[in-house]
Structure 1
Amino acid sequence: MGFGENVAKVQRGTIDRISELPEFILHTILSMLDTEEAGRASVLSKRWYDAWSSIPVLNFHYFQKYRYGLYDYNDDANDRLVGFIDKTMERYFRQKYRITKMCLTLPKVDEKLKPLVDKWIMIAVQNQIQKFEIQLLGGRYGLPEILFSAKSLKYLKCSNVELPYYATMDLVSLEYLTLLTNTLDEGMLQEIISFSPLVELYIAYDKGFKTISLPWMKKVNGGVESHGNGTMQSNLQEYPLQKFVYIGLDEKSPWPWNLNVAALKNLRNLEFECAPITDDIVSELSYGLVVLESLKISACSKLECINISSNSLKQLEITDNSELKKATIDAPKLLEFYCICEVGTSLSLIRALDHCNARFLLLYPDSVTNVWPVALKKFLVETNFFKSLEIEFTSPLEMVVEEDQLRNAGTGLPYKLRELKLFGTSILTPTKSSLVAFLNGLFWCCHPDVLSMTTDLQDAAAKLILSILKEKTECWKDPLKSIEVESIEYPRLLSHSSELEIRLRLSW
């Protein structure tokens, strides 16, 4: 049942209460829908039509069907959408209706369509656009110059489009910039960064950059003060940037960004993924950014030995950095720490809060032998700050763990864990004896208070694990005294998924 039909059912009563709502509430309701879909509700009454025809939020999306690994492109559907958008934008141009937000998703922009898209953007700029999102599913399209003179624009998100090589820059209100493309023009991007009061900057898939300075220029008292050496003068205001996210393509290239830590005194969130950053860059940024609260570093292959020192850091993620051998962390206010690395990586936490939630996702070998639980126990004991251990199975495992050999591997007590999480057990096809050996190896190295499994209703391995636990299988040293079901949740029940999470409280 569509939105219009639902509203019509309510209106069949003696009083049309929905149409009596204030216009701004009707606008809010319609803004949650695609503009074309919202138009279907406009036939219900003149009040609904008036609200829809002047709604300040426009959502135009071409929805492609995904079939046999390819997108199913429909010329007729695209032509209908283009006609609808053009008719709508012409109405907004004539009536001078305010446009606060416009989202545009198109399959491609050819030479025939480009003048129309340019016109739509021009109308949006003239009608005081504040938030603009554009996504191209294919082809190439260069944004018109007029977009970069939009004084009212606060939020700009572009996906698979090109920036102009030059433009008149007047983005005096731009605070949020997201660019997802590998065809960025370096000079144009530098201009945007230099002259806009950015609060959040999200850059993905840049290629071929040489040097981008952040910041490089800054407006001061209506004028522009430029510092080619990257230094900041005393009369130069601090750069307002609070969040910077960088996702790269080429890790072999030199790091192209010049992040001036002296100016970035407001930066609170910093994220790197597939970035060619070095150990020195991580150390300099973590120490120099004095209000940094969140740092995320993922898949950065140039990192080998990092030192993170910060008196303000509260959240830290270090994940999938393949060459990382050592990480030293000094963060006395750290509340959240998430790590994905090899068991052999040396991690040292000098300072952190006692109640820091430290989680570790294990990267395991294809075969599990006695070496595996011994190495895992050594890793947990030496780091001594992980409270949660997560194991995600992405391929079948060959599990051979000899209890007799584990008895001689060490006399230390098992590491105490708050929770042990198992994901993807449906991939496993083990025998009962093999799975018993695997669990005994795990329980030899750690004793979790809670064992949780995110699994499937038809997961044979998960059922076998539950059966083994029910039999109170003993570790080589300490028996498992009791098991209680803490909770069973269906996190995706509304999406018709059979996935569930089982949480068991273990008593040793």
Structure 2
Amino acid sequence: MGFGENVAKMQRGAVDRISELPEFILHTILSMLDTKEAGRASVLSKKWYDAWSSIPVLDFNPQYFQKYGNRRHNYDDDTVERFVGFIDKTMERYFTRKYRITKIYLEVPKVDEKIKTLVDKWIMIAVQNQIERLEIQISGIINKYKLPEILFCAKSLKYLNCGGVILPLYETMELISLEYFALRPETVDEDMLQKIISCCPLVELDIAYDIVFGPVWLPWMEKVNGRVKSGGIGTMQSNLQEYPLQKFVCSSLSVELPWPLIMNVVALKNLRKLEFSSVRITDDEISELSYGLVVLESLIISSCSMLKCINISSNSLKQLRITNSFGLEKATIDAPKLLEFLCGCEVETSLSVIRALDHCSAQFVTLVLNSVTTVWLFKLKKFLVQTNFFKSVVIELDTPPEIVVEEDQLRNVGTGAPYKLRELKLRGCRATSIWTPTKSSLVAFLNGLFWCCRPDVLSITTNLQDSASKLILSILQEKAECWKDPLKSLEVESIEYPRLLSHSSELEIRLRLSW
């Protein structure tokens, strides 16, 4: 039953209390609904209609105008005409009545000269009505739409995400409030990008690359005879410009970029947050950036396949995340102000933390692809003991694993006491892969983990249909002995549905263990 039907059912009662709510609360309710449901709610009463007609969050998605049976994104001329007409009528109403607009999502499936003129008009209205967040996506690669100059005079704009558009170079730019800017490099002129970086000191720049477009020369790189070279730390040029950019996110839509990323640490001396995802950055470049960016506070590295042996040294770094780095062989961390450290790598990785704060939140994430074996448990324990830094461990089961744990070998190995942990997290298999192990194999699995580490809290995130979680709970309730120290008692600390609102069937159970 949809939202409109639920409200209509309630209205048949004696009192309609929801309609008596203030308009700003009705706006909040309607902004959580898709366009169709919000439209249905508007017919319930005049107050609902007034709230819907003045809602500050606008979602213009052509899918809502698609004819039944048509494929998604296959929009005929009639659909486009009705869709464009609806947008124009809506924006005219907001312009005439001076309704405030805080957010617009606009997806245009086709662009011709007439539609270009209309989009210019809609953006002008949005700027005049104090737009704060704009997401615009233009489909097709022919006759790309150029964002109008008035958009870059939007002093209220905080968030800009655009695709399929061109950002030409304009003289005027007053995006003094811009905090986030996401774009693809094929949409922006190099000089325009340089101006954005220079004029928007608060901006977090998020550039998503696609392999089909090839190299893009970023403004802090020097271009010499079609090649790129970095000014480096010790080779500063006399005419080198300093940029006020504080945040930069670089990600690739493909597996990895076909060219190495070279950044000039002198020009980026104000950078505080730096994030790489699926970028072909090298060990030396990571070392140079961490050392040379003297005010860098956050460094996030994800799925960078070229990294093998990294040395991160920084006196300013507070947050470090290295995830999906399963090809990493060695890492040395020297960061005396480090408050948060998350490392996702293989248990064979040699990791050394020279300096960090004693109360640093350190979490190790490891991925189990096929099986849990005795050898793997040996390696995990050795990794934790030698690193002697992690407070929590996350074990992700990518697919239903085979458990091959030889308990006799573990009993007879004198490798010292289990590693003390604050929390051990077990993340179950994907919703499409149901794990149905036997009780004996799960006992071996748990005994092996507790031989390896001794957590104060055991957290289990699993699919509701997965019988493994029920077996784990029953085994723990039976107080299964863990050879050297038996489990005395356990209590349920919390049960949460972390993704319930996104229609996930997962739940998280946190158990406090007493040894």
Query: Is the alpha carbon distance of 1:500 and 1:338 closer, same or farther for their aligned partners in structure 2, counting shifts above 3 Å?
Result: same
The CA deviation at 1:326 is 1.0
User: What residue number does 1:211 align with?
Assistant: 217
The CA deviation at 1:279 is 1.6
Query: Is the alpha carbon distance of 1:349 and 1:195 closer, same or farther for their aligned partners in structure 2, counting shifts above 3 Å?
Result: closer
Query: Is the alpha carbon distance of 1:101 and 1:42 closer, same or farther for their aligned partners in structure 2, counting shifts above 3 Å?
Result: farther
CA contact 1:312–1:333 (8 Å) conserved in 2:
yes
User: What residue number does 2:137 align with?
Assistant: 135
User: What residue number does 2:259 align with?
Assistant: 254
CA contact 1:232–1:263 (8 Å) conserved in 2:
no
User: What residue number does 2:284 align with?
Assistant: 280
The CA deviation at 1:301 is 1.1
The CA deviation at 1:331 is 1.5
Query: Is the alpha carbon distance of 1:328 and 1:59 closer, same or farther for their aligned partners in structure 2, counting shifts above 3 Å?
Result: same
2:446 corresponds to 1:455: no
Q: Compute the TM-score of the two structures, normalised by the length of structure 2.
A: 0.80
User: What residue number does 1:382 align with?
Assistant: 386
Alpha-carbon separation, structure 2, partners of 1:69 and 1:317: 44
User: What residue number does 1:446 align with?
Assistant: 453
User: What residue number does 2:489 align with?
Assistant: 482
User: What residue number does 1:320 align with?
Assistant: 324
Amino acid at match of 2:165: E
The CA deviation at 1:44 is 4.9
Determine helix, strand or coil for the equivalent of 1:342.
coil
Alpha-carbon separation, structure 2, partners of 1:250 and 1:434: 37
2:62 corresponds to 1:62: yes
Cα distance per residue 1:263-282 (max 9 Å; x no partner): 432x3221110112112222
The CA deviation at 1:376 is 0.7
Cα distance per residue 1:438-490 (max 9 Å; x no partner): 22221221111121211244322222222222332223433223333333334
Cα distance per residue 1:333-362 (max 9 Å; x no partner): 222211110111111111112222211111
User: What residue number does 2:106 align with?
Assistant: 105
Alpha-carbon separation, structure 1, partners of 2:487 and 2:239: 66
Query: Is the alpha carbon distance of 1:471 and 1:108 closer, same or farther for their aligned partners in structure 2, counting shifts above 3 Å?
Result: same
Q: How many residues align?
A: 487
Determine helix, strand or coil for the equivalent of 1:297.
strand
Cα distance per residue 1:198-217 (max 9 Å; x no partner): 4221111254234212499x
2:85 corresponds to 1:80: no
Amino acid at match of 1:212: L
2:278 corresponds to 1:271: no
CA contact 1:213–1:258 (8 Å) conserved in 2:
no
The match for 1:418 among 417, 422, 431 is 422
RMSD of aligned residue pairs (Cα, Å): 4.1
CA contact 1:108–1:139 (8 Å) conserved in 2:
no
The CA deviation at 1:289 is 2.4
User: What residue number does 2:232 align with?
Assistant: none
CA contact 2:30–2:52 (8 Å) conserved in 1:
yes
The CA deviation at 1:129 is 5.0
Query: Is the alpha carbon distance of 1:32 and 1:449 closer, same or farther for their aligned partners in structure 2, counting shifts above 3 Å?
Result: closer
The CA deviation at 1:298 is 0.2
Alpha-carbon separation, structure 1, partners of 2:67 and 2:479: 48
Alpha-carbon separation, structure 2, partners of 1:68 and 1:54: 32
Determine helix, strand or coil for the equivalent of 1:435.
helix
Amino acid at match of 2:89: K
What are the ranges of 5 or more consecutive residues in structure 2 without an aligned counterpart? 223-234
Determine helix, strand or coil for the equivalent of 2:454.
strand
The CA deviation at 1:316 is 1.2
Aligned pairs for 1:163-312 (under 5 A) are 163-164=166-167, 166-173=168-175, 175-181=178-184, 183-199=186-202, 200-206=204-210, 207-214=213-220, 231=237, 239-248=243-252, 249=254, 251-261=256-266, 263-265=268-270, 267-312=271-316
More displaced, 80-89 or 271-280? 80-89
User: What residue number does 1:219 align with?
Assistant: none
Alpha-carbon separation, structure 1, partners of 2:128 and 2:73: 35
What are the ranges of 5 or more consecutive residues in structure 1 without an aligned counterpart? 217-228
CA contact 2:275–2:300 (8 Å) conserved in 1:
yes
Alpha-carbon separation, structure 2, partners of 1:52 and 1:67: 25
The CA deviation at 1:503 is 2.0
Query: Is the alpha carbon distance of 1:169 and 1:214 closer, same or farther for their aligned partners in structure 2, counting shifts above 3 Å?
Result: farther
Alpha-carbon separation, structure 2, partners of 1:148 and 1:230: 37
CA contact 2:487–2:514 (8 Å) conserved in 1:
yes
Query: Is the alpha carbon distance of 1:415 and 1:130 closer, same or farther for their aligned partners in structure 2, counting shifts above 3 Å?
Result: closer
The match for 1:405 among 406, 409, 412 is 409
Alpha-carbon separation, structure 1, partners of 2:198 and 2:451: 59
Query: Is the alpha carbon distance of 1:43 and 1:83 closer, same or farther for their aligned partners in structure 2, counting shifts above 3 Å?
Result: farther
Aligned pairs for 1:88-103 (under 5 A) are 88-91=90-93, 95=96, 97=98, 101-103=102-104
Amino acid at match of 1:286: S
Query: Is the alpha carbon distance of 1:288 and 1:470 closer, same or farther for their aligned partners in structure 2, counting shifts above 3 Å?
Result: same
CA contact 1:454–1:502 (8 Å) conserved in 2:
yes
Q: Compute the TM-score of the two structures, normalised by the length of structure 1.
A: 0.81
2:338 corresponds to 1:331: no
Determine helix, strand or coil for the equivalent of 1:461.
helix
Aligned pairs for 1:112-151 (under 5 A) are 113-125=115-127, 129=131, 131-136=133-138, 142-147=144-149, 150-151=152-153
Amino acid at match of 1:157: L
The CA deviation at 1:70 is 6.5
Amino acid at match of 2:490: I
Amino acid at match of 1:246: C
The CA deviation at 1:246 is 0.9
Determine helix, strand or coil for the equivalent of 2:186.
coil
CA contact 2:19–2:47 (8 Å) conserved in 1:
no
More displaced, 481-490 or 399-408? 481-490
Alpha-carbon separation, structure 2, partners of 1:349 and 1:242: 26
Aligned-pair identity in percent equals 55
The CA deviation at 1:380 is 0.6
User: What residue number does 1:372 align with?
Assistant: 376
The CA deviation at 1:384 is 0.7
Alpha-carbon separation, structure 2, partners of 1:45 and 1:123: 25
Determine helix, strand or coil for the equivalent of 1:410.
coil
The CA deviation at 1:368 is 2.6
